Amino acid sequence: MTEGADAEAGAAWDLRDDLDEVDVEAATGFPGEPDGFQRLWTPHRMVYIGGQDKPKDSGIAECPFCDSPSKSDAEGLIVARGEEVYAVLNLYPYNPGHLLICPYRHVADYTDLTETETTELARFTQKAMRVIRAVSSPHGFNLGMNQGGVAGAGIAAHLHQHVVPRWGGDANFLPIVAQTKALPQVHADVQAALSKEWNR
């Protein structure tokens, strides 16, 4: 063994002596091999993945979109109320300001909306875009409805239109690689800002 190797071995034994006095976490549960990835833990998303708050069937009693209007605006995350429809923050947003335009009536299919519901839903969608532009200056929007579970509707029993603000670069590696979305604002702040602008 060379002199340098002897010195390294001695330093390693000194380090072990120091570690005996330190409370060290067990390696159980950690990745077996270092993989170079940083991890942003988002345990709150397990609520969504596990299906909490989703209706267990198509009944009104289980529907969060039927329940939300009975709450205060702040508690229900409601931004605006109309005669036939209301605007509410998505509880699991793609981006800050992601709104859902929902009819009060428990109806699943777009073709089942009345003429007045259809008209107000369209007007609320336009107003939502104007409000979000005034509050947070997005570069664009995704608008759409997922009709049926097979089409991606998380709550298929109660129709809702998505109004998703988009910014250049908002689809970074986190959602693509890690199925995680970093959101810089809490719901209460977004709800307050959008409601204030909506009522100007």
> Is the full-model pTM beyond 0.75?
no
Say if residues 40 and 180 touch (Cβ distance below 8 Å): yes
Residues recognised as catalytic: 160
Mean pLDDT of the chain: 79
Instruction: Report yes or no: 102 and 86 within 8 Å, Cβ to Cβ.
Output: yes
DSSP 107: -
CATH 3.90.550.10 fits 41-198, yes or no: no
User: How does pLDDT run across 1-33, given as a tens digit for each residue?
Assistant: 555 555 555 555 555 555 556 565 665 665 555
Q: Using CA atoms, how far apart are residues 88 and 85, in angstroms rounded to an integer?
A: 10
Alpha-carbon distance 196 to 200, whole Å? Answer: 7
pLDDT reported for residue 188: 85
Q: How many CA atoms lie within 13 A of 146 on its CB side?
A: 14
Residue 46 confidence (pLDDT) above 90 = no
Could you tell me the residue ranges of all domains in the chain? Answer: 41-198
Distance, CA of 125 to CA of 87 (rounded, Å): 9
Convert the pLDDT of each residue in 141-199 to its tens digit: 999 999 998 888 888 999 999 999 998 877 655 554 455 566 656 778 889 889 999 98
**Residues 126-134, mean pLDDT to the nearest whole number:** 97
